Amino acid sequence: MSAGDRFEPVIGLEVHAELLTASKIFCGCSASFGAPPNQHTCPVCLGMPGVLPVLNRRVVEFAIRAGLAIRCAIAPRSRWARKNYFYPDLAKGYQISQYELPICVGGHLDIVVDGVAKRVRLTRIHMEEDTGKNIHDAHGSESLVDFNRCGVPLLEIVSEPDLASPAEAGAYLRTLRTLVRYLEICDGNMEEGSFRCDANVSVRARGTTALGVKVEVKNMNSFRAVEKAIAYEIARHARVLEEGGTIVQETRLWDADREETRPMRSKESAHDYRYFPDPDLPPLVVSEALVAEVRRAMPELPDARRTRFVAALKLPEYDAEVLTSRRDLADYFEAVVAAHPNAKAVSNWVMGDVLRLLKERKLDDALTITDWPVAAAHLGELIALIDEGAISGKIAKTVFEEMGTSGGTPRAIVAARGLTQVSDEGPIVAAIDQVLAAHPDKVAEFRAGKDKLLGFFVGQVMKATAGKANPPLVNRLLTEKLRGE
Partner 1 sequence: MTAAFDQPTITDAARRLRAGELSATELTRAALARAAARAADLHAFITVAEEAALRDAAASDARLRAGKPAGALEGIPIAIKDVIATAGIRTTAGSRILADFVPPYDATVTARLRAAGAVIVGKTNCDEFAMGSSNENSAFGPARNPWDVTRVPGGSSGGSAVAVAASLALGSLGTDTGGSIRLPASYCGVVGMKPTYGRVSRYGVIAYASSLDQVGPFARDVTDCALLLGVLAGHDARDSTSVERAVPDYGDALAGGAKGLRIAIPGEYFVEGMEPDVERAVQSAVETLGGLGAQIGSVSLPHTEYAVSAYYVVATAEASSNLARYDGVRYGSRVDGDGTLLEMYRRTRAAGFGDEVKRRIMLGTYALSAGYYDAYYLKAQRVRTLILNDFARVFQDADVIVTPTAPTTAFRLGEKVADPLQMYLSDIFTISVNLAGLPAISLPCGIDAAGLPIGLQIIGPPFGEELVLRAARAYEAATDWHTRRPPAPGGSR
Partner 2 sequence: MKISRDEIRHVALLARLALDPAEEEAMTATLDAILTYMEKLGALDTSAVEPTAHMLELPAAWREDRVTNVSDTDALLANAPARDGDFFRVPKIIE
Q: Mask of contacts with Mg ion, 157-196, x by CB under 5 A?
A: ----------------------------------------
Task: Please count the residues of this chain forming the interface with partner 1, following the rule CB under 8 A.
Answer: 29
Q: How far is CA 347 from the centre of its chain?
A: 19
Cα(125)–Cα(157) distance, integer angstroms: 5
Least Å from the CB of residue 131 to partner 1? 12
Cα(218)–Cα(213) distance, integer angstroms: 17
By CB under 8 A, tell whether 466 contacts partner 1. no
Cα(370)–Cα(87) distance, integer angstroms: 41
Least Å from the CB of residue 170 to Zn ion? 36
Nearer CB in complex with Zn ion: 44/173: 44
Helix (H, G, I), strand (E, B) or coil at 330: helix
Cβ-Cβ contacts under 8 Å for 71 (sequence gap 6 or more) = 106, 107, 108
DSSP conformational letter for 340: S
Nearer CB in complex with partner 2: 23/347: 23
156 binds, among partner 2, Mg ion, partner 1, none (CB under 5 to 8 A by kind): Mg ion
| AA identity, residue 348 | N
Helix (H, G, I), strand (E, B) or coil at 251: strand
Cα(47)–Cα(49) distance, integer angstroms: 7
Task: Identify the residue among 145, 367, 453, 482 touching partner 2 (CB under 8 A).
Answer: 145
Stretch of 81-89, 422-430, 462-470, 475-483 contacting partner 2, by CB under 8 A:
81-89
Least Å from the CB of residue 46 to partner 2? 6
Burial class (CB in 10 A: 0-12, 13-18, 19+), 395: buried
By CB under 5 A, tell whether 64 contacts Zn ion. no
Cα(466)–Cα(462) distance, integer angstroms: 6
Q: Are 106 and 70 in contact (CB under 8 A)?
A: no
Q: Are 7 and 237 in contact (CB under 8 A)?
A: yes
Give me the phi and psi of 349, to 5 degrees please.
-65, -45
Helix (H, G, I), strand (E, B) or coil at 112: strand
Among residue numbers 246 through 265, which ones bind partner 2 (CB under 8 A)? 253, 264-265
Stretch of 36-44, 288-296, 310-318, 387-395 contacting Zn ion, by CB under 5 A:
36-44
By CB under 5 A, tell whether 331 contacts Mg ion. no
> Which sign, positive or negative, has the C-alpha torsion 109, 110, 112, 118?
positive
Task: Identify the residue among 50, 244, 418, 426 touching partner 1 (CB under 8 A).
Answer: 50
How many Cβ atoms are within 10 Å of 144's Cβ, its own excluded? 14
Task: Please count the residues of this chain forming the interface with Zn ion, following the rule CB under 5 A.
Answer: 5
Q: Mask of contacts with Mg ion, 141-160, x by CB under 5 A?
A: ---------------x----
Q: Mask of contacts with partner 2, 27-56, x by CB under 8 A?
A: xxxx----xxxxxxxxx--x-x-----xxx
Task: Identify the residue among 47, 193, 299, 427 touching partner 1 (CB under 8 A).
Answer: 47
139 binds, among Zn ion, partner 2, partner 1, none (CB under 5 to 8 A by kind): partner 2
Cα(436)–Cα(405) distance, integer angstroms: 39
Among residue numbers 83 through 102, which ones bind partner 1 (CB under 8 A)? 84, 86, 88, 91-94
By CB under 8 A, tell whether 131 contacts partner 2. no
Q: Facing residues of 158 across strands? A: 14, 124
Q: How far is CA 278 from the centre of its chain?
A: 35
Stretch of 39-47, 230-238, 239-247, 464-472 contacting partner 1, by CB under 8 A:
39-47
Stretch of 45-53, 70-78, 229-237, 246-254 contacting Zn ion, by CB under 5 A:
45-53
| AA identity, residue 58 | R
Least Å from the CB of residue 289 to Zn ion? 30
By CB under 8 A, tell whether 269 contacts partner 2. yes
Task: Identify the residue among 10, 13, 29, 390 touching Zn ion (CB under 5 A).
Answer: 29
Name the residues that contact partner 1, by CB under 8 A: 43, 46-55, 82, 84, 86, 88, 91-94, 141, 145, 272, 274-276, 279-282
